[in-house]
Chains A and B, each alone.
Chain A
Amino acid sequence: MSTLTNSTPIIETVGLRRTFKGRGEAVEAVAGVDLRVLAGDIFGFLGPNGAGKTTTLRILATLLPPTAGSARVAGFDVARQAREVRTRIGYVAQSGGSYREATGREELIIQGRLFGMSKADSSIRAAEILEALDLTDAADRTCGTYSGGMRRRLNIGIGMVHRPALLFLDEPTTGLDPQARARMWEEIRKLRETGTTVFLTTHYLEEADALCDRLAIIDHGKIVAEGSPSELKHDIAGDVVTIGVNGHADQVVKLLEAQPYVREACLEDGLVRLYVDSGEAAVPAVLRLLDAHGMAPSTMNLHRPSLDDVFLKKTGRSLRETAA
Chain B
Amino acid sequence: MRSFRDTWLIYQRSLTLSLRNPVWVIMGIGQPILYLLLFGPLLTNIAKLPGFPPGGAFNVFVPGILVMTALFGSGYVGFSLCDEMREGVVERMRVTPMSRVAMLLGRSLRDVTLLEGQALILVILAIPFGLEINLGGVVVAFALLALVGLMMSPVSYTLALILKSEDSLAPVVNGVAVPLLLLSGVMLPMSFAPDWLQTVAKFNPLYHAVAAIRELFNGSYGDTEILIGVVILAVLAVVTISFGARSFSRAAA
Contact = CB atoms under 8 A, between A and B. Distances in A.
Interface string A67-104: 00000000000000001001101111111111111100
Contacts of B9: 110, 113-114
B166 interface: no
A159 B6 CA distance: 18
Contacts of A98: 87-89
B45 interface: no
A94 B87 CA distance: 9
A-side interface size class: 20 to 34
Interface in A54-69: 61-64
Nearest to A83: B97
Which of B21, B91, B94 gathers most chain A CB within 10 Å? B91
A89 B94 CA distance: 12
Contact of A63 (B13, B16, B84, B94): B94
Given A64-B252, A99-B17, A106-B13, A111 B91 contact: no
A101 B96 contact: no
Interface string A279-318: 0000000000000000000000000000000000000000
Contacts of A93: 88, 91-92
A155 B96 CA distance: 14
Nearest to B13: A110
B21 A96 contact: no
Contact of B92 (A87, A97, A106): A97
A114 B93 contact: yes
A58 B17 CA distance: 28
Interface in B1-28: 6, 9, 13, 16-17, 20-21
Contacts of A110: 9, 13
Contacts, number: 66
B2 to A, nearest CB: 8
Contact of A99 (B84, B91, B98, B252): B84
A95 B95 contact: no
Contacts of B96: 86, 111, 114-115
A236 interface: no
B22 to A, nearest CB: 11
Contacts of B97: 83, 86-87, 114-116
B-side interface size class: 20 to 34
A96 B96 CA distance: 15
B86 interface: yes
Contact of B87 (A62, A89, A99, A114): A99
Interface string A106-121: 1000110111100000
Contacts of A101: 17, 20-21
B14 to A, nearest CB: 10
Contacts of A115: 96-97
A99 B95 contact: no
Nearest to B83: A99
A86 B87 contact: no
A125 B87 CA distance: 23
B17 A102 contact: yes
A266 interface: no
Contacts of A102: 13, 17
Interface string B84-113: 101111011111111000000000000000
A158 interface: yes
Given A99-B84, A101-B20, A114-B98, A63 B91 contact: yes
A87 B252 CA distance: 20
Nearest to B6: A114
A83 B249 CA distance: 12
A154 to B, nearest CB: 12
B95 A61 contact: yes
A86 B93 CA distance: 10
Contacts of B252: 63-64
A111 B93 CA distance: 8
B106 to A, nearest CB: 11
Interface string A149-190: 000000100110000000000000000000000000000000
Which of B84, B86, B88, B94 gathers most chain A CB within 10 Å? B88
A113 B13 CA distance: 12
A110 B88 CA distance: 15
A95 B87 contact: yes
Contacts of B91: 63, 91, 93, 95, 97
Nearest to B2: A116
B25 to A, nearest CB: 14
A79 to B, nearest CB: 13
Interface of A: 61-64, 83, 86-87, 89-102, 106, 110-111, 113-116, 155, 158-159
Interface of B: 6, 9, 13, 16-17, 20-21, 84, 86-89, 91-98, 252
- Ranked 4 nearest A-B pairs via Cβ: A95-B88, A97-B92, A91-B95, A97-B88
11 contacts: A62-B94, A63-B252, A83-B97, A86-B95, A95-B88, A98-B88, A99-B87, A101-B21, A102-B13, A110-B13, A114-B93
Given A89-B95, A101-B17, 6 more contacts: A63-B95, A90-B95, A93-B92, A95-B91, A99-B84, A106-B13
